């Protein structure tokens, strides 16, 4: 152990001294797109992506800066072209969820502002209107495609209480390209849970966005965790290039 | 929706203009210690807490700065005094886990440096030696207490693949005081999963620590997510004060 | 071990010799109804309970024999009177679920006969019509009550891929009175999973029913497993008596 | 719906009239062995398989009748020959598990007779002695093989609280050949949970066994549920034949 420690300690000190960071040393396992790959998008809903959304004041700057709306659209286009499934995991709150006895800080806040409150259901069972919890209006055209569908909603941040994992496994999917809202909350909880459930996951960082405040940059925080936890982090441009090589 | 957006937009702009952040406005649901509360500590093991540990070069500064070792010891003392269960959720890798076909960046790195590689088992089934994966030597004395025990190991970051949740529920525990290593990895994944499984969770921030590098401060990242996701964040001093009022 | 074996062997032989069975010796842990108790009903839907249901030919005899429809109604009445939550965990299949690559025998059969195929959604999001997957028409009146609601659907047999567990925990429920369809499939998978997730569970046996065929009596099979796995098995009459004592 | 019901009703009546059962009509999806297949064995431990085991009085007759010990040995042999992973999911109870506040009937009984009480750990961490919870002595020779290993223990009946699912996914396994003890308890809960987690599962029926009492034949009960829930049910002979064709 002494040998390992000395080696390791020297490596780190050496890197810092050279102004290098461990980032350059952290392995990049990589991610190969194949026919057992699907795209998963968290919370692409009006409350987060529409200028009329309840949370636009908080997340709008990040969405605009990253080009998140266009980048998510690119993922839909790539998927349709390559016949790849796209699963949307929406966040949604029903009336009866307001009976909950307790919740963490963010979810308590969300309840106060009626974030993602379920609107009228459409005939298809997928909310295709302009309510906050409905799928972003700009993406409704993609929902007509056979390769795109919406799972049951998650209620906290991750897919532990919806059927996302089952839907992936029943389609013999092992690898996920992940995007959506919010980078450090629902998207990151989906990343962590998919990894715990044995999927390989790549995150498309600029196809996500978060709340950015002076003291807390949700997007920057998530970058570090994406890099540590996922198999690879792509930009949308890098992902397009990867699809071109298929 | 227009009304909500205007109100919300005005609120945020107002706050920013005043130099305030949403932090001051984010609800703090609070956390009340009761007889359905337990302490959970992630990865209090030699590789993270001992100067001889494989990861000391990376995490030592944070551990030292936060007083993590002493603060975790305080949690053990408080628990014993108040007959509160303490569950340790250790990270451990067996030989056969090295057959895994894939892993994310951090776990690939961990494998390369033999982080948390399982040492000899003791008769009791709990690793009480000086190997990297053994419980930190400074805490061995607490393991003799009836209220302290070790769950089966987790292999990724969260408690999805061990019996932590079952052990809590079988003791009629609904509320968790969380501490341990590393703030933004195993501790945070435990926070997220406990919340998904319907527990109320408070994090004791300076009883955690992380890897800190120029480009990535694992401890600072975790603070933001702890605050957003948990019911409350304590310092060890604040927690001691809360226990005094019981 | 030798001593234990001899004792145990003698006990069993003794019992058999007397024509007794271990049933009389199997402990009955019992189940106390309190304010942390809820009722969970699996699949109380037209396809199983209506004479027009797709599966009526298979399950009708058992439903009729047990008085299942009336007994489940009794549970709704008891719950409303005692302000106890009732959570309905429905089985439902969407169009996109028909893209699944594989399924076990029963689910393959169910797909062939379009069992529980999702009908039109109502405005409330809960299927209150006469389609096979809609909640049994005789129970629609109960759905107006605040204490009754419907979770997201399960797609296989158990609550692993819906929000039932989360909804129970968020209401600080630890104890479940379980009923519904089919005794040895969805009801039993809910029993098993609730137990794995640390709930105490009592089954109301005649408020369940199953498919009964010459070679396979789904109701009888389930009785044995209910008795082994649950904390207690009630008849509806016994449960009514237990509620009277509250 | 009326049309479906009439057709279905007629089909069933017709079958019953002819003395046929639905069994002949229930689809058999089948199971193809490939390089994404593994064998999972539940509870092949001394308390269930050794004549000195605590439960031998209850399960011995079924084990003997089915040839379970030899059949499980055959699975080990086939797996080694075909380089297929074998994962053993053991049942084990630690001292601290005796602090549980509640349990169902069977687990309460198990606690009373000290079923599967953890013995001394060996150096390797796998219990290779003659204690009740140790792996059956007749199988110790197989544990030396690289393709065979033991997961962390389950504590109730299913793999919800151990790392079995993770270990399968990390080896890119989607398909499980399932065997072990007891047919209607741990083996069946593993079947149900593996199916919920999106695996294809085949059960080798005579490589399982159960408690058989006058009023309750655990093996017979399990046959019906295996047939309904799994993709296919093999006898050991049929499985050998399937392997020969690879």
Confidence of residue B24 (pLDDT cuts 50, 70, 90): low
Residue numbers in B near C198 (CB within 8 A)? 165-166, 168-170
Per-residue pLDDT, D129: 82
pLDDT in tens, D184-240: 999 999 999 999 999 999 999 999 999 998 788 999 999 999 999 999 999 999 999
Per-residue pLDDT, A192: 98
DSSP bridge partners of A212: A217
Per-residue pLDDT, D14: 43
Examine residue D19 and state whether it is found in any structural domain, yes or no: no
Per-residue pLDDT, D9: 45
- Mean pLDDT, chain B, rounded, equals 88
pLDDT > 80? residue B18 = no
Token pair 């070790």 is at which residue? B150
Alpha-carbon span A201 to A192, nearest angstrom: 9
* Listed range (A66-75, B23-32, B207-216, C195-204) with the worst mean pLDDT: B23-32
Calculate mean pLDDT across residues B139-143. Answer: 96
Å between A146 CA and nearest CA of chain B: 30
Alpha-carbon span A200 to A206, nearest angstrom: 19
Most confidently predicted of A208-217, B94-103, C94-103: A208-217
Token pair 């109100």 is at which residue? B7
pLDDT > 60? residue D106 = yes
Token couple for C149 = 């609601």
Q: Are B69 and B138 in contact (CB under 8 A)?
A: yes
Per-residue pLDDT, B121: 52
Alpha-carbon span C10 to B98, nearest angstrom: 47
pLDDT > 50? residue C132 = yes
Å between A135 CA and nearest CA of chain B: 16
* Listed range (A13-27, C110-124, D79-93, D160-174) with the worst mean pLDDT: A13-27
A172 or D92, which is more confident? A172
Alpha-carbon span D208 to D71, nearest angstrom: 9
pLDDT > 80? residue C242 = yes
pLDDT > 90? residue B87 = yes
C141 or C98, which is more confident? C141
DSSP three-state, residue A117: strand
DSSP three-state, residue B47: helix
Give the best residue of A163, A196, A198, A199 to mutate against chain D (max D CB count within 10 A): A198
Selecting from C165, C166, C198 the residue whose C-beta is nearest the C-beta of B166 gives: C198
Alpha-carbon span B114 to A117, nearest angstrom: 47
Examine residue B32 and state whether it is found in any structural domain, yes or no: no
Residue numbers in A near D169 (CB within 8 A)? 174, 197-199
Contact between C166 and B198 using a beta-carbon 8 Å cutoff = yes
Token pair 């509360």 is at which residue? B37
pLDDT in tens, C153-178: 999 999 999 999 999 999 999 999 99
**C26 Cα distance to chain centroid:** 22
Contact between D165 and A199 using a beta-carbon 8 Å cutoff = no
C27 or A180, which is more confident? A180
Which of these, D227, D177, A227, lies nearest to B106 by C-alpha position? Answer: A227
Per-residue pLDDT, C141: 96
Q: Are D110 and D116 in contact (CB under 8 A)?
A: yes
Token pair 């609550």 is at which residue? C159
Residue numbers in C near A111 (CB within 8 A)? none
DSSP bridge partners of B179: B41
Touching check for A206 and chain B: CB below 8 Å? no
* Listed range (B23-37, D10-24, D116-130, D182-196) with the worst mean pLDDT: D10-24
Q: Could you write out the three-class secondary structure of chain D?
A: CHHHHHHHHHHHHHHHHCCCCHHHCCCCCCCCCCCCEEEEEECCEHHHHCCCCCCHHHHHHHHHHHCHHHHHHHHHHHHHHCCCCEEEECECECHHHHHCCCCCHHHHHHHHCCCCECCCCCCCCCCCCCCCCCECHHHHHHHHCCCEEECCCECCCCHHHCCHHHHHHHCCCCEEEEEEECHHHHHHHHHHHHHHCCCEEEEEEEEEECCEECCEEHHHHHHHHHHHHCCEEECHHHHHHHHHCC
Å between D74 CA and nearest CA of chain A: 29
Per-residue pLDDT, A106: 83
Confidence of residue C23 (pLDDT cuts 50, 70, 90): low
Token pair 């399990």 is at which residue? D222
Residues 222 through 241 of chain B touching chain A, CB cutoff 8 Å:
224-225, 227-231
A157 or B101, which is more confident? A157
Nearest-CA residue of chain C relative to B166?
C198
Contact between A171 and C101 using a beta-carbon 8 Å cutoff = yes
Per-residue pLDDT, B12: 46
How much of chain C, in percent, has pLDDT values that exceed 70?
87
Examine residue A8 and state whether it is found in any structural domain, yes or no: no
B173 or B214, which is more confident? B173
Examine residue D10 and state whether it is found in any structural domain, yes or no: no
> What is the phi/psi pair of residue D152, to 5°?
-70, 160
The 10 Å Cβ neighbour count of residue A238 is 15
Calculate mean pLDDT across residues A70-95. Answer: 95
Calculate mean pLDDT across residues C45-55. Answer: 95
Contact between C169 and B198 using a beta-carbon 8 Å cutoff = yes
The 10 Å Cβ neighbour count of residue A129 is 15
Per-residue pLDDT, B116: 87
Token couple for C125 = 């999001």
Which of these, B137, B132, B44, lies nearest to B87 by C-alpha position? Answer: B44
Confidence of residue A36 (pLDDT cuts 50, 70, 90): very high
Token couple for A188 = 């990151």
Touching check for A215 and chain C: CB below 8 Å? no
Confidence of residue A60 (pLDDT cuts 50, 70, 90): very high
Per-residue pLDDT, B111: 86
- Half-sphere exposure in the Cβ direction for D216 (13 Å, CA): 22
pLDDT > 60? residue B211 = yes
Touching check for A16 and chain B: CB below 8 Å? yes
Residue numbers in D near A168 (CB within 8 A)? 198
Domain of residue B172: give its range: 46-244
Per-residue pLDDT, D179: 98
DSSP A185: I
Per-residue pLDDT, D22: 52
Nearest-CA residue of chain B relative to C166?
B198
Confidence of residue A2 (pLDDT cuts 50, 70, 90): very low
pLDDT in tens, A143-197: 999 999 999 999 999 999 999 999 999 999 999 999 999 999 999 999 999 999 9
DSSP three-state, residue A246: coil
Alpha-carbon span B3 to A211, nearest angstrom: 21
Residue numbers in C near D221 (CB within 8 A)? 221, 224-225
DSSP B19: T
Contact between A106 and B229 using a beta-carbon 8 Å cutoff = yes
Examine residue B104 and state whether it is found in any structural domain, yes or no: yes
pTM, full prediction: 0.91
Confidence of residue C17 (pLDDT cuts 50, 70, 90): very low
pLDDT in tens, D47-67: 999 999 999 999 999 999 999
Confidence of residue D18 (pLDDT cuts 50, 70, 90): very low
Token couple for A76 = 């839909």
pLDDT > 90? residue B15 = no
Confidence of residue C108 (pLDDT cuts 50, 70, 90): confident
DSSP A86: E
Q: A53-56, long-range: CB within 8 Å, 24+ apart, which pairs?
A: A53/A132, A53/B1, A53/B5, A54/A113, A54/A114, A54/A115, A54/A132, A54/B1, A54/B4, A54/B5, A54/B8, A55/A113, A55/A115, A55/A211, A55/B8, A56/B5, A56/B8, A56/B9
Which of these, C148, C200, C189, C164, lies nearest to C36 by C-alpha position? Answer: C200
pLDDT > 50? residue D123 = no
How much of chain D, in percent, has pLDDT values that exceed 70?
87
Calculate mean pLDDT across residues D65-75. Answer: 98
Total residue count of chain C as it appears in this document: 246
Calculate mean pLDDT across residues B209-234. Answer: 94
Per-residue pLDDT, B19: 30
How much of chain B, in percent, has pLDDT values that exceed 70?
87
CATH number at residue D166: 3.40.50.850
Q: How many domains does chain D have?
A: 1
Examine residue B157 and state whether it is found in any structural domain, yes or no: yes
pLDDT > 80? residue D21 = no
Calculate mean pLDDT across residues C37-55. Answer: 96
Calculate mean pLDDT across residues C193-203. Answer: 98
Per-residue pLDDT, C26: 82
CA distances from C28 to A3, A92, C22, C23, D58 (A): 58, 41, 12, 10, 19
Examine residue A56 and state whether it is found in any structural domain, yes or no: yes
Calculate mean pLDDT across residues C61-86. Answer: 98
Calculate mean pLDDT across residues C30-36. Answer: 97
Alpha-carbon span C226 to C201, nearest angstrom: 10
- Mean pLDDT, chain C, rounded, equals 88
Chains in contact with D, where contact requires at least 3 CB pairs less than 8 Å apart: A, B, C
ipTM associated with this complex: 0.90
* Listed range (A166-180, B166-180, C117-131, D129-143) with the worst mean pLDDT: C117-131
Calculate mean pLDDT across residues A118-139. Answer: 75
Touching check for D26 and chain C: CB below 8 Å? yes
Alpha-carbon span B121 to D87, nearest angstrom: 21
Where helices occur in chain C by DSSP H, the ranges are 2-17, 46-49, 56-66, 68-81, 105-112, 164-170, 188-196, 218-229, 236-244
Nearest-CA residue of chain A relative to B10?
A57
Burial class (CB in 10 A: 0-12, 13-18, 19+), B21: middle
Touching check for C118 and chain A: CB below 8 Å? yes
Per-residue pLDDT, D24: 58
pLDDT > 50? residue D16 = no
Touching check for D104 and chain B: CB below 8 Å? no
Examine residue C191 and state whether it is found in any structural domain, yes or no: yes
Give the best residue of D163, D167, D173 to mutate against chain B (max B CB count within 10 A): D163
Alpha-carbon span B21 to C170, nearest angstrom: 30
């Amino acid at each position: 152990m002494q040998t390992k420690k000395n080696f390791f300690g020297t490596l780190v000190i050496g890197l810092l001294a050279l102004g290098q960071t461990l980032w350059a040393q952290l392995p990049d396992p990589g991610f190969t797109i194949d026919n057992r790959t699907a795209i998963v998008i968290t919370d692409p809903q009006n409350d987060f992506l529409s200028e009329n959304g309840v949370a636009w004041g908080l997340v709008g700057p990040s969405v605009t800066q990253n080009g998140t709306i266009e980048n998510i659209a690119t993922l839909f286009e790539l998927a349709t072209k390559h016949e790849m499934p796209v699963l949307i995991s929406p966040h949604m709150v029903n009336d009866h969820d307001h009976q909950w006895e307790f919740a963490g800080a963010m979810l308590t806040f969300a309840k106060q502002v009626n974030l993602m409150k379920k609107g009228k259901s459409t005939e298809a069972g997928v909310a295709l209107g302009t309510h906050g919890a409905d799928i972003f209006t700009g993406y409704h055209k993609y929902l007509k495609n056979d390769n795109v569908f919406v799972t049951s909603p998650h209620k906290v941040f991750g897919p532990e209480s919806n059927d996302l994992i089952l839907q992936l496994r029943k389609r013999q999917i092992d690898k996920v390209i992940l995007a959506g809202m919010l980078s450090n909350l629902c998207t990151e909880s989906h990343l962590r849970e998919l990894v715990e459930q044995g999927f390989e996951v790549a995150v498309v960082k600029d196809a996500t966005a978060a709340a950015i405040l002076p003291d807390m940059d949700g997007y920057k925080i998530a970058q570090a965790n994406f890099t540590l936890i996922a198999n690879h982090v792509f930009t949308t441009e890098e992902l397009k290039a990867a699809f071109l090589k298929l």
